Amino acid sequence: AQVDLTGKVAFIAGVADSSGYGWAIARSLASAGATIIVGTWPPVLKIFQMGLKKGSFDADSELPDGSKMVIEKVYPLDAVFDTAEDVPDEIKNNKRYAGLDGYTIEEVAKAVEADYGKIDILVHSLANGPEVTKPLLETSRKGYLAASSASAYSAVSLLQKFGPIMNEGGNMLSLTYIASEKVIPGYGGGMSSAKAQLESDTRTLAYEAGRKWNVRVNTISAGPLKSRAASAIGKEPGQKTFIEYAIDYSNANAPLGQDLYNDDVGNSAMFLCSGLARTVTGVTLYVDNGLHAMGMALDSESMSDRNA
């Protein structure tokens, strides 16, 4: 069966370049005919818009039929603020937010409703942990709660505000990581806790949004990808980054010892957001070459004799 999303509108929150999963999901949905609109963090909005205008992302916009993905509209979105009243003066007066307003979740939902009426697909592709390089034992309350706010509660708030403008049978999708349930040293600052929250909330929201709006809620637990955002974690001079270690570990230990591309996640997202998955909700779908299933590291020194 072919996936046909013609006439469907998809809002993807958290797209600021072409290297991450958010872009790949947008491209997969566009290849099936969906109208693509995105929400971008205000401090990087101008750079992203400039890149789009200059054609910096043209190569990454190509669809299977040879055409280019069109992002119909880019909205400024800061998902740590629910309403205009939540925005403090220090943000309003910050030069990185100069000339912008209407970037809270509630205001963006209203703007999307004014522009498009109803939407069918809502994608949460954003996370931030200001203390992500710190072990949990060294994480401050402020850093922990900031990670939770930006990476987990933002998904709850998005669905709160966008749910009423979603068509029946629509789907909300978020992105999680195996650190929610297994120890991943280096993924700190409360981010592992935030991803655990996100997965738990996916199940609860699947029930609540399913009964209230007939909307499905799922999350994808994606394997490591060398996106720009991920590459910024744990960068030490002369050393591999956290994500480079994670990719090497996955290739050495996952059942499928192959590279993971952002399109792999994009294609899984397209399935979950389509009518083919009409009975699938409350699910954490692992798109990680099977790494989540492993309980032992094959490349461990203690396994060297067995692997010889």
- Tell me the catalytic residues: 177, 187
Half-sphere exposure of 305 (CA within 13 A, CB side): 1
Encode 24-40 in three state secondary structure. HHHHHHHHCCCEEEEEE
* C-alpha pair distances (Å), 261 with each of 98, 222, 226, 290: 36, 10, 9, 14
- As a whole number of angstroms, the distance between CA 134 and CA 138 comes to 6
| Phi and psi torsions of 276, nearest 5° | -65, -25
Which residues, at least 6 apart from 166, have a Cβ–Cβ distance to it below 8 Å? Answer: 118, 119, 120, 122, 172, 213, 215
39, 58, 43, 263: CA torsion to nearest 10: 60
Q: Which two tokens stand for residue 38?
A: 């995105």
